[in-house]
Amino acid sequence: RIASACYESDDFRKVRMTYFDAGKKVQVFNSLWYPRYEIDAPVLGIDLLCFGEKKLLAVVDCQPLQPKGDAEFRPSACRSFDAIRQRYPSLCGKMSSRFYDEDTFFSDAMLFGRFEEDGPVTTDVLPAFKEYVQAYLAMIGRTKSNGSAAKEMASVVSKQKGYDQYSAEHDPAHALFVGYFGEDWANEFVHDFLFDLSERKREIGQEAVASAAPGAATTGAGNARSGG
C-alpha cells in the first residue's frame, strides 16, 4: 500500500510526503520540499527506508539546484548543515554512484547512514533530522525573495524543472513502483506527482521530432513550452 500528502505554505510551493508499506520486505518514507519560485534556494530531500526488519537507510540533504562546479553554487550555504553532519559520525556515509551522480543536485553536507539495528534511529537519525530541518527552515527564512521579478523567477523554474527531470529519470523508486503497481501507474505517479515538472521521455522525443520537421525553424518559437 502507498499513501501520499502534499502541502504548500508562504515559503514552499510544494511539500510532498509519501509512505510506501510493503510489510516486512520494505518500508519507505520520502519527502521533498520545494521553495516557491520567488525564493532561489535548494530543495530539501528526505529518504528513510527499512529493508527487512533491521536494515535501515537514512538520507537527508539540502540539495543545491546547481552543479557543485557551477559559479552560482555557494558552499557557504552548506556550513550549518555540515556542522550538523559532523556531530553525527554515523550519518557521514557516502552515497553510492549506482543511480546518481553525487556532483549533480547533491551537497557535501548530506546526512547518509546505513544501519543494521534500529537503535540509531532514536539516538542519531531523529535528532539529526530535526536539527537539519530547523537549519533548512532558518536558511529559507534568511533567503531574500526576488518578489515577482520575471527573470529571477524563470531561472528558479528552470532549475527546479532540471532537478525534477534528472530525478524522474534516475530515481530507483520507479522500478520499485513498477514491480508493485505496474508501469503505467508508476509512470503517472513519478511524473505527475513526485516530479511534476518533469517530462516523460516520449514527450521529449516527440518534441525533438517536431523540431526536426519541415517548417520547424519558423514555428518552433510558437511551440515552445512555457517555463511556468
pLDDT score at 103: 60
pLDDT digits (tens, 9 = 90+) for 162-201: 999 989 988 889 999 999 999 999 999 999 999 999 998 7
Whole-number average pLDDT of the chain: 83
Statement: residue 209 has pLDDT above 70: no
* Coil vs helix vs strand at 189: helix
Mean pLDDT of 82-108: 80
* Residue 91 contacts residue 124 (beta carbons within 8 Å): yes
Statement: residue 203 has pLDDT above 90: no
Mean pLDDT of 200-214: 53
- Give Cα separations from 53 to 56, 80, 117 (angstroms): 8, 33, 8
**H helix and E strand count, the chain:** 8, 6
More confident site: 100 or 91 = 91
Q: In percent, how much of the chain has pLDDT > 70?
A: 79
pLDDT score at 211: 47
Mean pLDDT of 44-54: 91
201-212 vs 216-223: helix axis angle to the nearest 10? 140
Mean pLDDT of 19-30: 94
- The DSSP 8-state label assigned to residue 88 in this structure reads -
Q: What are phi and psi of 71, to 5 degrees?
A: -60, -25
Q: What's the pLDDT band for 94 if we cut at 50, 70, 90?
A: confident
Q: What's the pLDDT band for 145 if we cut at 50, 70, 90?
A: confident
Mean pLDDT of 11-39: 95
